[in-house]
Each structure stands twice: as structure tokens, then as C-alpha cells.
A and B are shown apart, each in its own frame.
Chain A
Amino acid sequence: MFDLIRKIWRTKTVTKTELFTEAPERFRGKPIFTSNECTGCQACTTSCPAGAITLQQNDDTITVSLSYTTCIFCGICAEVCETNIIEITNEYRLATKNKNELTVSQQATLAKLLTARKEV
């Protein structure tokens, strides 16, 4: 109880100094794609609890889309991705007037996978 009050006392009013303070480094915020080396393994789509990631496969390209409106920022996708192209950042200011802005896509060429399949 006293610890709690002491903590509040020490923190003071956050919005007094700045309206938007930066989140702690380990805060799980916006997941981003860092490169386009996706292999299409679908580990992220199957392990995402909210179903926020969709994978669209064309002939030789693959498009991964992530919707921040559905995402619950759990960080599982960043953990399971074998090429580590998904990364969790501590960015949390995602409010928007236009819902379409909240979907990010990353396109990757499937060259490696295709040649592997031809050999078989």
C-alpha cells in the first residue's frame, strides 16, 4: 500500500512534463517488417492468436500483411519468424482517422523456394 503511494509520489504527473512520453524499451508496441526476406513458412500466420497476419501467395511473390487493428501486440510473430524479419518496437502512437492506414504489407520474391521446388 505504502509502496504504491510512494511509487505514485515518485512518478508524479506524467503529462505535466510531456504529453507523449516514450514507452519503456521492452514495451511491446507496433510490430514492423525489417526486410523482405520472407520465406513463406507461415509460422507467423498460424501462431498469431488474433489472426492479424495474412499471407498472399502469387506465382513468384509473396505478400505478408499485418493489420494493427486486429493485432494484440503479443510479440509471438517476432519470436517464431525464422528469418527474424518481424520486429517488435516500442512505438505505441497508432491512433488514426483512417482505418486503411493501419495495414502494412511486405512483399518478397519466392525465388529460393521456387528453385527448390523445381528440383524435386
Chain B
Amino acid sequence: MKSGKEQTTDLRWTLQKRMKEVLGRSLHIRHVDSGSCNGCDFEMNTLTNPIYDIQRFGVDFVASPRHADMLMVTGGVTRHLEEALIKTYNAASEPKMVVAIGACACSGGIFGRTYANYGGVGHIVPVYVYVPGCPPRPEAIIEGILLALDRYEELSRNRYEELSRNKGENRH
């Protein structure tokens, strides 16, 4: 059993530790606004302010998808921004971790699925983690990042096992 202080220290650096384990480097995020009301975007911006200060764990928001490992998508993908989302997704470098932030990005939220709104990022690009909330708390977004790292680890392990199995079969 760990003492209370040690536990909090562990929790404090979980994010950085997981990032080192899974990616081996820092995590850069590109924010994609696909027609949100800006509520979720503000909550994401608070991650870098002095109160949450996520940058000291090595997470940063970057200006180009080509620099990013993770796409954070807000909004329910309107018709005009569908193209932008697809282009951004294609431009992002591997691993293309997509995190859907907010009720809109998860399933259309209060706008629903209409002629102008696709009703969810999942209809357009594969999503790693859903973070519901309107808007979600910054801590919930941090949890989303942690879960996305888990998912990436899972997927890459499966891929590695598959590759090594294929190699074994070819040899026989």
C-alpha cells in the first residue's frame, strides 16, 4: 500500500509516464473545429492555461496537422467542414489518434443529425476515444488523452503480433 503522498505524485505524472511508455516522446495535438459552438474549444484552451498547465507534461497544441500525433475534433461535422476534416486527417502523421470532444463530436449532441450536420465525427473518420460532455471538463479531456494512449498501445501491440505471426508463417 502506497502512502497518500506517493499516490498523488504517481497520478500527477501519469500522463508524462504513459506518453514516454507508449510514444517515447512528447505528444502534439492539432485541434480541428468541425462546426462547434466554441464551448468545447474554450475548455481545450484551458488545458494550457496556468490552472491546468498541461504543457509541463509535454503536451502541446500545434498549428499544423503535419506536426501532430493526435487530432482533437470538436463539433458535429457540418457539410462545409467535412472536407476540412478529411484533409486534416489525411495530412496528420501517424499515429492518427482522433479524440472526439463534446456531445456534438460524439453523436451530434444538441444539433443532432440534420441535412447540414453529419451528427458525429465517427461517421467521417475512425475515432479512438469519445469524451462526452457539453462541454467536458478539462480533466475529462486529460482522461481522454490517457485513454487514447491506451488504445494506441493496444492497436500497435496487435499489429506487432500480427506482423510477427505472418513472419513466422512465411518462414515455414
Give A1-35 as 1s and 0s: 1 = Cβ < 8 Å from B's Cβ atoms: 00000001001111111111101000000000000
A-B contact count (CB 8 A): 103
Minimum distance in angstroms from B141 CB to a CB of chain A: 8
Q: Say yes or no: B108 contacts A97, CB within 8 Å.
A: no
- Distance of A78 Cα from B103 Cα, bound (Å): 19
Q: Say yes or no: A49 contacts B110, CB within 8 Å.
A: yes
- Distance of A67 Cα from B134 Cα, bound (Å): 13
B11 — nearest CB in chain A belongs to which residue? Answer: A19
Tell whether B67 is near chain A: CB-to-CB under 8 Å. no
Q: For this complex, into which size category does the number of interface residues on chain A fall? A: 20 to 34
Q: Say yes or no: B143 contacts A95, CB within 8 Å.
A: yes
Q: For this complex, into which size category does the number of interface residues on chain B fall? A: 35 or more
Scan residues 65-106 of chain A and give those whose CB is less than 8 A from a CB of chain B: 67-73, 92-97, 99, 102
- Distance of A92 Cα from B130 Cα, bound (Å): 13
A15 — nearest CB in chain B belongs to which residue? Answer: B52
Give chain B residues whose Cβ lies under 8 Å from the Cβ of A114: none
Tell whether B60 is near chain A: CB-to-CB under 8 Å. no
Contacts from B to A (Cβ < 8 Å): 8, 11-12, 14-15, 50-54, 57, 103, 106-110, 112, 122, 128-134, 136-137, 139-144, 147, 150-151
